[in-house]
Every structure is written in C-alpha cells, then in structure tokens.
Amino acid sequence: MIDMHLPILLIVVPLVSAPLCVLLRQKTLVWAFASLVCVASLGIASMLLIRVLEEGVISYAIGGWIAPWGIEYRVDTINAFVLLLVSIIAAVLMFFALPSVADEISGKQHYLFYTAYLLCFTGLMGIAITGDAFNVFVFLEISSLSSYTLIALGRDRRALTASYQYLIMGTLGATFIVIGIGLMYMMTGTLNMFDLSERLPAMFETRTAMVAFAFLTVGMLIKLAMFPMHMWLPNAYCYAPSLVTAFLAATATKVSIYVFLRFTFTVWGAEFVFEKLKLDAFLIPLSLIGIYVASLSAIYQTNIKRLLAYSSVAQIGYMMLGIGFVSITGLTGGIVHLFNHALMKAALFLSVGCAVLRLGSSDLADWKGLGRRMPVTMAAFVLAGLSLIGVPLTVGFVSKWYLILAALEKGWWPIALLALLSSLLAVIYVWRVVEVAYFQKADDDSNVKEAPLMMQISMWVLTGATLYFGIQTDLTVNVAQRAAGLLLGVTP
Amino acid sequence: MSEVHPALILLAGGLLLFCLPTTPRRIVSVILPVFGFLNLLTIADGTLWHITWGGYELTVLRADRLSMLFGYLFHLAAFIGAIYALHLKDRLQIGTGLIYAGSAVGAVFAGDLITLFIFWELLAITSVFLVWARGGERALRSGMRYLVMHISSGLLLLLGAVFYYLNTKSLAFDHIGLDKGHHYLIFLSFGIKCAFPLLHNWLIDAYPESTPVGTVFLSAFTTKAAIYALARGFAGEDLLIYIGTIMTIFPIFYAAIENDMRRVLSYSMINQIGFMVVGIGIGGALGINGAVSHAFNDVIFKGLLFMSMGAVLFSSGRINASDLGGLYKSMPWTCACCIIGAASISAIPLFNAFISKSMVMQGVADSGAVTIWLVLLFASAGVLHHAGVKIPFFSFFAHDAGIRCREAPLNMRIAMTISAILCIVIGSYPPLLYNLLPHPVDYVPYTTTHVVLQLQLVFFAVLAFVALMLTSEIDVSLKTRTQRITVGVLLLIGHHPPELPGVNLDSDWIYRRALPRGIRAVVRTGGLIVDRFFAGAKALIQKLIAAIRAQHNNRGLFGRSWLSQSNVLIAIIFLAIYLIYYF
C-alpha cells in the first residue's frame, strides 16, 4: 500500500516536517529531526530508483485526479537519479551540519535554518519529481525563496547583498520560466509535461512557440548559472554559510540542469530545439567560452570559496557541452558529470568548511601551511581536487572520458582538444591552493586542531564517493546511459 | 590461483609505508617486493581478469610470458631498490618508490588501453616525487619539466585510445602497428616514455637531479615499461630500427663530454634503450627476445652503476668527474661493484649484457642490414668508452682528488652486491634468463665468433680510451714516448676531452639556449625595427597576460561582483538574442 505512495511521500514528508521544526525549536532536537527526515527521504528515493530501474516509469496522480487534469508526479530513470543525488547530498551533509551550524549561525536561528534547509530540499525534490510544468515553477520558488534565506544567514554582512542579488536574478529567471510556461499553456491548454509533448508539435511553426521557448531558455540558463548569466553565483556561494554553499553547489544548479533537460528533450523534443532552433550552435560555444573564462577567473581569486564557485561555473560548462552534443554519449557525459561534480564540489566545499571552522577564514592567504596544520582536511581537499582536474581513478576522469568521446564521435576534435586543454586550467587553480597549503609556512605557529569527527564523516563519505564512483562506474554510467536514451527517445 | 592483482601489493603496501614508524617501515619495505613476487608466482600463464567500467570491459590483468617477465623484473628491481634505500629516514622516497614500482607492474599487466593509461599516468605522478625528493629549486624545476612531458605522454595515449576505440570498437592492448595515422598518437606516447631522440630530454634533465635512491628507482621502471609497451604494440615496425639506431649513437658523444657521472649514465641509458628499440623493430622471436632480455639485464647492470654512483654521491657529496678520483682507497667495495657493472654494460663475455646484446646484434645481422649493424657496433664501442671505462676510471682512479670518505652504508653495499652477483650469474649461465623469455630460444651466445668479436671490440675501445687519455694530459705516468707512438694512429681521432665542470645541453639546447640566443642575435643584427618588433611582441604578450589577469581578478570584469542591473541587462540582452535567433 505504502509502496504506491512513495512519490508523494518524498515531497510530503520534508514539506510537513519543515514547519514542525519551528515548533520543536530546541537546537539539537531540530537537528536530529531534520536528519531523520533527510535519511527517510534518502530511503524513499533509493526505493524509487530501484523500482524505476525494474519496472519503468512510475506515474502518480495526486488526489486521484488523473493527468492531464490533475497534477501528475512522474518518475523515470533520469529524475529518479536526480532525486537520489539530492537526497544523498542532503542526508550526508547532516553530519557536517551539527558542528558547522553551531559555529556559523547564532543559536537563536538554528530552527529557522533547518526549516529553510528542509524547505529548500522539498523544493528541489519537487522540481525533480513533478510531471507538471506549472508545478515546476511552484517548487522552483519554494526552493529559491528558502535558499535566499539560507544564504542570508551567512556570518559576513555581504551575505545579505549576495542573497539580494541572487533573489533578483533568481526571480528574473523564474519569471521568464513562468512566462514560457504561460505561453505554452495558452497554446495547448495543458500544463502536464507529457500532454504538452504531444500537443506542442502542432504549434512548432508559430511564433508563440518560439517566444515561449526563448523565455524558457533564458530563464533556465539563469537558474543553472550558464555563462554569462552566472554572476549571481560566486557571491552567493562565497558568503553563504559553509553547509549551505556545499548543499547549493551540489544540488541547486544540478536540479536546474535537470529542468533544462526535461524541457528541451522531453517537453519540446530534441527535433524542435536542436534541429529547428539550432540551440546547440549557441550552447557549445557558450559552454566553451564559459569553461575558459570561469576557469581563468578561478585562477585569479584570492578567496577559496569564490575560487571553487567560479570552478563550478566552468564545470557547468562541461555539463552543458555534453548536452549540446545531442548524442547518447554526450548526454551520458553531461548527466554523469552532473552527478560526479555534485560529489566532488560538495566534498571540496566541506573541506573548506572544516578549515573555516578552525581558521575562521577561507582567504587563500590564511591557508598557509595548512597542509601541516590540518593534514586530514587538506588530504580530502587534494583528493577531491584531483577529481576536479579529471585524474584517472577519480570521477572527474569518467566524465571527461565521455565528453571527449562524444566530441570525437562527432568528429569535432578541436572541441575535444579545447576541453582537454581546459583541464590544465583546473590544474592551475587547484595547484594554487595546494602550493599555499603545503609549500608556504604559516604566519603564526599556533596549533590548529582538526575539524570535529562529525564534519569529517561527511567530508570523507563524499571524498570516498569521488574515488569509489571513479573506479566502480557501473551504477552511474548505466543509469546515465539509460537516461540519455530516454531523453533522446531511443532505447540503448 | 591467486586472488590478488600483482600491482596491488606494491601499491597498497607503498601507501602503508607512509603510516609506519621507521623500523617497521624498513622491514616492510623489503618484505613487500618479496610478497609481491610470491603472489606473482601463483598467477598462471594466460590468466585474464576483466572488470566492467562504464559499459566497457577492461582487462585489468593479462598474464602471458611477456608481461610475466617484466613482472618478475620489476619486483626484483623493487627489492634491490628497497634494500638500497634502507638507510633512509624519510618515508617519501621509499613510499613513492614502491608505489611507482607497483604502477609499473600494473602497466605491464594491463590488457587494455584504459588500464594502461591509468597506470601510465600513475607512473608519471609517483615518479616525479622522487625527482622532487632532492629538494631545492633545480630539482623542483626539473621535476616540473619531467611532469609536463609525462602527463603529455599520458594525454597522447588517452587521445590515441579514444581514436583507436572509435575505429576498432575495441580497447584491447595488442599489436597496434603503424598502419593508421592515429596510431602514431599512441606510438608517440610510448616514444616519450621511451626517450626517443628529441623526446629524450626529460631523462637527461631529471634523473641526475634526483636523490641517490631516487635515481636508482627511476632508472628501473619508466623506460622499461615503455619498452614493454612498444614490444606489445609495435613489434616489427621498421621505423623503430632507425629510431633505435639513432638512440644508440647520439648519446655516446654527449656521454663522452659530460662531467656529471649520473648524467653520463643517463645518456648511456638512452644508448642501451636504443639497442632494445632496434630489437623490437626487427621483431620476430630473436628480436623480441633480444630486446626483452636486454631490458631485463639493463635494469640490473644500469641499476648497479646508478647505485655505485649514488653511493659515491652519498659518501663523498660529489658527482662530477672533475671533482672525483682516487676513491678506490676509501670505497673499495663500491669500486669493485662498479667495475662489475661496467664490465656488464660493456658486454664482456661472462657478464649479462653480453648474452642479450649479442642477440639483438645477431637479429640485425640476420636481417641483412649491414649499415645498421656497423653503426650498432660503433655504438657498442662507445658504450665501452664512456660507461665501461670512464665511469669507474674517473671516480675511483685517475688523479687522486684527495677525498677520504667512509665506505657506503652496509645496505647499499648489499644491494650492489646482489646486483653484481646477478650480473655474473646471468652472464655465465644464460638459460636462467632465456627460459623466461616470451619466445623459445635457440640462440647460443657463447660461440667463438661472438666471443672473439666482442673481445676485440673491448680491447680496441680500451686502447682508444688510453690513447685519448694520453693526449688529454691527465694521467702523467703514461706519457712516455713509446706509448705515444703505439697509439699514434688513434691520436688522429682527436683529444679525449678533459673533464671540465659545466652544464652540457643537448637538443634541449634548442629551447633553453638557442631560441633565446637566436632571438637576441636577430634583434641585434636586425636593428631598431626588428628590435621594436620583438619588444612589441613581448609587450603584447605581457599585455595579454596582464589583460587576462585584469579581466579575471577580483576587480576585473569577470572576477568582480557585478551590479544587479548589469546582470539583469545581460539576461535581457540574451533574451533578445534568442528571440531574434529563433526567428
């Protein structure tokens, strides 16, 4: 019986728990409760993925109203994968949360923090699970509004402006998306994605369709921080509390990329988007420019969180590059990188979080000699950094392999070469941190302790995952390949 | 049937060494290669292990006679190296040394190009720490140049593997050949690691910069793994014969003028690899057997020579021929081992190089390439001169430099003795090695012709050395009239260059000296206009970098925080662009 209702439980459980946090109030209690919710969600998400892989698409009609009249939750391979990713990250981060939140956020606001955290989580899961276009917008707003709150809780006063700027850009993006959805509704009279995908082809020749898709494109590209609409991201990541940075970096942009995949491939169809409108002619150059510009910016940053934030923009470039190839291999590369990058960037931000807890700063200059002072934390940073570069035996290599394979499949070897060369830039920006931490002497020799065990658990689980999935790629690549086949409408 | 991958023991064990205190670390470091070797013995010929990686079936273990031979060899080298390193207190060298050895083992057992690539890169990353272990700016820079070359080699391999896969739908690492253009990518990748001419600078550059222990490890693995890869993928390619011949010939001139003893050995190493490459190029049972057995012997005798020079550096603190001399009084044991190594590398009968190098020579002779054969013969004489005589002579004899130091530590002497004994045993009883070779051997090294030819070569080379020495006025005692007349003919060849301190650059001269010098010369002669042009170009590049910096740092366009309105403006502009574009 409860099996039937897994999709809705995944949303209802965290959604209802969020206000309960406000009632609980007590710091540790709220944390324990939120952790429980996240772990429960992880369980549900794993069960969903297993069921999808065994039985195929699961459709759930909310309140018994059958689609296209009611809201439908529709789980297939690709969003089951995204759901699992988001819930893994949310659950693993809860270990880290207890000491880190206690350090960075004043005690009175803890319950608000966890409320916002659960709401943001709900929103992200909702975006991924729903099969209804307008519902996407609703959950997008839930996740965005709560993430503005989360960012604004940062210690630095600049967190407020960063959050404000994110709010403006996020709202703009969401507005564009809702305009796009509105136009689609106007044309077809339906909001159900599956239904839309059947009715839209009749409208492909109209200007309305093109305008609708233009709004959607820009809206989605803002949300996923595609160059050059990425400028909200570095500050938001830089000034947010450590935990929030790790959470958003690993999930928010990834879910936005999922939305992009869903709208372009499922709702509109690759034929319309890439053959008629030729979006790939935009996507590929923009991705490449974005990779280079953002990587160069990362090289010159003096704050490590900002450095990693720019690196995120560059990595999003890789994902969009893979998607822009519009082939099974390219999409596989993009989707695998989506998962892999979430792991490694979360691991990196967590190790920065550990250092911030002890040093109180993520300025590069303050990290001198950290390799000796916090060897465990720095070891995790280096391992996850190797992943970012794409060294073999790490997840980064798996993604890069598929991206390059996809480029060469198309015969676009200059792009393959550019993508390969760009990893040298990653070498430079990771090396800058390593050089400071290992080859420079600390200014003051005061002893610094390692971060608490709880934080290290989260950090090492994710760092270990970047290595594990670099060697054992069956799960990630198989799922990504099936998802890619699903998106392109071919069964591999 | 073993359940443990042969590379795993060394890799995991090497990591373990980082966590152990000094005494257990020393014990474990010596036991590890032994364990690895015992594990290797349990792996049956023809074993294949597959894993799936992202939908590809990878062969992580492919055991056949060729890979097994290299497996044995690398464990032996790791064992000797570990003993040689026993006196060390720091964990970096022995730890990375064994991980590096493990990577080499992994590479030779790799049955597909991806596994090979992974170990290929691991070889590069682990070995560079051995260069850096020396410390100091020179080692750091040299290591960086080394790393760049080897990472490029890895990237070429990866690119080649992707093309190979797209063309054949297979990643298996078997004979590749040079029949398709993109196969040259893989060929070039192997070539870098194998120190092909013009790609060899990393070897000359980095090996002498490492620590005494580091160089011993370095000399054993990287190039031999490359020889294995060439033998597997490109056996019988004629191009290799020519490349190999060039490799045997050009280093002997550099080795003759080089002052740093370990650099002399590095050149000599390229020369020896040349013989192996020629053997691979000839292909067939004899060629491959010759190349592979020579690789096996080279690890032992070149390791021995590097160990003895490392011991000299360790005890006396000097390594330049011009600073050394007369050390036989202080270091008799090292001296004896060095002489055995020198005799081996000179391919004197009863020493191990004789039984392998003559096989390559026979292969060349059978193929009827007379010119190549003569060049190789000349190169053999060159080896005798620079490695066979020069190395022991200048360090242990020649003029007494007045160094009175202690004999090398016991562990170093043990390691050298093991190698020395192996040199003689293998040389005197060839079946020991021949039975391990990939193809059945029907070659007999000890025939009258082989022995006489080689001995003649030895005597003439020694004669030439003596003659050259006479004219270089280093050894006064030999300067009598009669002796001068005896070797008068040879005087025509020229002077033996005196050992002078200095840095010799070979083709890296092109980019380290000639390029800057050439630019300067042109600027000088070209006058003001050219001058301005170059100044302009330089300024342009500087400006470009400054501009990139300015655009991307905290205050730059891409690095600073944007105002909200600019963000919004960009978004609107893009909306407009998309609208227009979609129409």
Per-residue model confidence as pLDDT tens digits over A427-449: 889 988 988 888 788 877 677 88
Evaluate whether residue A431 is within a structural domain.
Answer: yes
Give the pLDDT confidence of A282-314 residue by residue, as tens digits. 899 999 999 999 999 998 889 999 999 999 999
The pair phi, psi for residue A67, each rounded to 5°, is -65, 150
Beta carbons of A465 and A391 less than 8 angstroms apart: no
Kindly give the pairing relationship between strand A58-61 and strand A72-75.
antiparallel
The range of the structural domain enclosing residue A370 comes to 305-492
Distance from CA of A28 to the nearest CA of B (A): 36
* pLDDT above 70 for A479: yes
Per-residue pLDDT, B10: 92
Q: What is the mean pLDDT of chain B?
A: 84
Please report residues of B whose CB lies closer than 8 A to that of A478. Answer: 55
Per-residue pLDDT, B421: 94
b/e code A343-377 from CB counts within 10 Å (16+ = b): bbbbbbbbbbbbbbbbeeebebebbbbbbebbeeb
User: Which tokens sit at B31?
Assistant: 């036991």
Q: What is the mean pLDDT of chain A?
A: 90
Residue bearing tokens 């020495």: B469
Residue bearing tokens 């064992």: B79
Using the beta-carbon criterion (under 8 Å), do A300 and B575 form an inter-chain contact? no
Helix B212-233 to helix B113-132 angle, to the nearest 10 degrees? 160
ω into residue A228 within 30 of 0, thus cis?
yes
Sign of the torsion formed by the C-alpha atoms of B422, B428, B430 and B431: negative
* pLDDT (average), residues B181-195: 91
CA atoms within 13 A on the CB side of B443: 28
Q: Is A53 exposed, middle or buried (0-12, 13-18, 19+ CB in 10 A)?
A: middle
Per-residue pLDDT, A379: 93
Using the beta-carbon criterion (under 8 Å), do B567 and A297 form an inter-chain contact? no
Per-residue pLDDT, B475: 42
Least reliable range by pLDDT among A21-25, B235-239, B501-505 = B501-505
State how many domains chain A has: 1
Evaluate whether residue A36 is within a structural domain.
Answer: no
Evaluate whether residue A476 is within a structural domain.
Answer: yes
Q: How many CB pairs under 8 A join A and B?
A: 113
pLDDT-based confidence at residue B506 (cuts at 50, 70, 90)? low
Using the beta-carbon criterion (under 8 Å), do A392 and B117 form an inter-chain contact? yes
Distance of alpha carbon A77 from alpha carbon B100, whole angstroms: 41
A110: how many CB neighbours lie within 10 A of its CB? 23
| DSSP code at position A302 | S
* pLDDT above 80 for B177: yes
Distance of alpha carbon B80 from alpha carbon A18, whole angstroms: 64
**Chain B residue nearest residue A289, CA to CA:** B558
Q: Is A186 exposed, middle or buried (0-12, 13-18, 19+ CB in 10 A)?
A: exposed
Least reliable range by pLDDT among A20-29, A228-237, A411-420, B558-567 = B558-567
Beta carbons of A144 and A123 less than 8 angstroms apart: yes
| DSSP code at position B409 | P
Sign of the torsion formed by the C-alpha atoms of A343, A344, A345 and A349: positive
Please report residues of A whose CB lies closer than 8 A to that of B583. Answer: 207, 210
Per-residue pLDDT, B135: 80
**Chain A residue nearest residue B121, CA to CA:** A392
Using the beta-carbon criterion (under 8 Å), do A296 and B575 form an inter-chain contact? no
Helix A453-471 to helix A375-389 angle, to the nearest 10 degrees? 30
Question: Taking the domains of chain B in order of start, what are their residue ranges?
Answer: 1-234, 242-507, 521-582
Per-residue pLDDT, A95: 93
Please report residues of B whose CB lies closer than 8 A to that of A310. Answer: 559
Using the beta-carbon criterion (under 8 Å), do B575 and A215 form an inter-chain contact? yes
**Chain A residue nearest residue B573, CA to CA:** A218
Q: Is A96 exposed, middle or buried (0-12, 13-18, 19+ CB in 10 A)?
A: buried
Distance of alpha carbon B260 from alpha carbon A183, whole angstroms: 78
Sign of the torsion formed by the C-alpha atoms of B276, B278, B283 and B286: negative
Give the pLDDT confidence of B20-50 residue by residue, as tens digits. 888 889 999 999 999 999 999 888 888 888 8
Beta carbons of B59 and B172 less than 8 angstroms apart: yes
Phi-psi region of A189 (alpha: psi -120 to 50; beta: other; left: phi over 0): left
Which of B167, B189, B561 is the best mutation test for A, with the most CBs of A within 10 A? Answer: B561
From residue A15, alpha-carbon distances to A34, A120, A255 in Å are 11, 9, 18
Using the beta-carbon criterion (under 8 Å), do A297 and B166 form an inter-chain contact? no
Distance of alpha carbon A14 from alpha carbon A10, whole angstroms: 7
Distance of alpha carbon B99 from alpha carbon B36, whole angstroms: 12
Least reliable range by pLDDT among B78-87, B376-385, B563-572 = B563-572
Those residues of chain B whose CB sits closer than 8 Å to some CB in chain A are 52-55, 117-118, 121-122, 125, 155, 158-159, 162-163, 165-166, 548-549, 551-554, 556, 558-559, 561-562, 564, 566-568, 570-571, 574-575, 578-579, 581-583
Per-residue pLDDT, B367: 86
Per-residue pLDDT, B494: 43
- What is the rounded end-to-end Cα distance, in angstroms, of chain B? 68
Amino acid present at B167: N
Dihedral angle, C-alpha A415, A329, B116, A425, nearest 10 °: 40
Distance of alpha carbon B70 from alpha carbon B104, whole angstroms: 9
Give the pLDDT confidence of A398-425 residue by residue, as tens digits. 999 899 999 988 888 889 889 888 888 8
Using the beta-carbon criterion (under 8 Å), do B575 and A207 form an inter-chain contact? no
ipTM reported for the complex surpasses 0.90: no
Distance from CA of A98 to the nearest CA of B (A): 30
CA A102 from centre of chain: 25
Q: What is the 3-state secondary structure (H, E, C) of B203-240?
A: HHHHHHHCCHHHHHHHHHHHHHHHHHHHHHHCCCCHHH
The pair phi, psi for residue B427, each rounded to 5°, is -65, -35
pLDDT-based confidence at residue B491 (cuts at 50, 70, 90)? very low
Give the 3-state secondary structure of residue B249: helix
* pLDDT above 70 for A387: yes
* pLDDT above 80 for B492: no
Distance of alpha carbon B80 from alpha carbon B307, whole angstroms: 10
Per-residue pLDDT, B513: 58
Please report residues of A whose CB lies closer than 8 A to that of B52. Answer: 474
Distance of alpha carbon A314 from alpha carbon A226, whole angstroms: 9
| DSSP code at position A406 | H
Per-residue pLDDT, B481: 41
Distance of alpha carbon A358 from alpha carbon B157, whole angstroms: 43
Please report residues of B whose CB lies closer than 8 A to that of A401. Answer: 54, 162
pLDDT above 70 covers a percentage of chain B that reads 88
Which of A211, A300, A304, A382 is the best mutation test for B, with the most CBs of B within 10 A? Answer: A300
Distance of alpha carbon A229 from alpha carbon A222, whole angstroms: 5
Amino acid present at B68: M
Per-residue pLDDT, A4: 81
User: Which tokens sit at B535?
Assistant: 């100044």
CB contact set of B574 (below 8 Å; sequence gap of 6+): A218, A221, A228, A229
Sign of the torsion formed by the C-alpha atoms of A442, A445, A446 and A452: positive
Give the pLDDT confidence of A82-127 residue by residue, as tens digits. 999 999 999 999 999 999 998 888 888 899 999 999 999 999 999 9
* pLDDT (average), residues A23-33: 90
Give the pLDDT confidence of B341-387 residue by residue, as tens digits. 999 998 888 899 899 988 898 889 888 888 898 899 888 888 887 78
The pair phi, psi for residue B92, each rounded to 5°, is -60, -50
* pLDDT above 70 for B280: yes
Beta carbons of B523 and B534 less than 8 angstroms apart: yes
The pair phi, psi for residue B189, each rounded to 5°, is -60, -45
* pLDDT above 60 for A165: yes
Using the beta-carbon criterion (under 8 Å), do B559 and A301 form an inter-chain contact? yes
Per-residue pLDDT, A257: 95
Element at B146 (helix H, strand E): helix B136-168
The pair phi, psi for residue B307, each rounded to 5°, is -65, -45
* pLDDT (average), residues B254-283: 90
The pair phi, psi for residue A303, each rounded to 5°, is -110, 130
CB contact set of B192 (below 8 Å; sequence gap of 6+): B149, B150, B152, B153, B156, B199, B202
Give the pLDDT confidence of B433-444 residue by residue, as tens digits. 898 888 888 888
Distance of alpha carbon A297 from alpha carbon A234, whole angstroms: 10
Give the 3-state secondary structure of residue A483: helix
Give the pLDDT confidence of A453-474 residue by residue, as tens digits. 999 999 999 999 999 998 888 8
Per-residue pLDDT, B473: 46
Distance of alpha carbon B102 from alpha carbon B9, whole angstroms: 8
Q: Is B196 exposed, middle or buried (0-12, 13-18, 19+ CB in 10 A)?
A: buried
* Alpha helices by DSSP H, A328-394: 328-359, 370-373, 375-389
The CA-based angle B30-B34-B37, given to 5 degrees, is 145
Per-residue pLDDT, B517: 67
Distance of alpha carbon A56 from alpha carbon A186, whole angstroms: 31
User: Which tokens sit at B448?
Assistant: 């009258």
CA B243 from centre of chain: 16
* pLDDT (average), residues B261-288: 92
Beta bridge pairs of residue B51 = B58
Per-residue pLDDT, B418: 94
Beta carbons of B107 and B120 less than 8 angstroms apart: yes
Residue bearing tokens 């055995």: B340
Evaluate whether residue A483 is within a structural domain.
Answer: yes
Q: Is A283 exposed, middle or buried (0-12, 13-18, 19+ CB in 10 A)?
A: buried
Beta carbons of B144 and B125 less than 8 angstroms apart: no
Residue bearing tokens 């290797």: B40
pLDDT above 90 covers a percentage of chain B that reads 32
Give the pLDDT confidence of B379-419 residue by residue, as tens digits. 888 888 778 888 888 888 877 877 788 888 999 999 999 99
Residue bearing tokens 């080298």: B77
Q: Taking Cα atoms as reference points, which of A142, A153, A155 lies closest to residue A111?
A: A153
Give the pLDDT confidence of B237-253 residue by residue, as tens digits. 999 999 999 999 888 88
Beta carbons of A232 and A166 less than 8 angstroms apart: yes
| DSSP code at position A109 | G
